[in-house]
Amino acid sequence: MSKADFPAFMRDVTAARFCDMKTGEFVELVESGALPTPNKLGRWDRSALEAVMRGDSLKPEGVFEL
């Protein structure tokens, strides 16, 4: 599946698949602050997830141990 196959805004199951992880693992990383939280509609921004996964963007709290 290519990046183009994923919507710009995704639910947790799709966002987890986009990050190549299980949904539970994805949710744990969101809850720990290592991944961005969803928007007000409960969707994750694909570009924000990409930035974190590439290491181009970190949450304001700083470095995370994954």
Residue extents of the structural domains in the chain: 9-54
pLDDT in tens, 13-32: 999 999 999 999 999 999 99
pLDDT at 65 over 60: no
1 in helix, strand or coil? coil
Using CA atoms, how far residue 10 sits from 29, 48, 55, 61, 65, in Å, is 16, 11, 20, 24, 25
pLDDT at 55 over 90: no
What's at 25, amino acid-wise? Answer: E
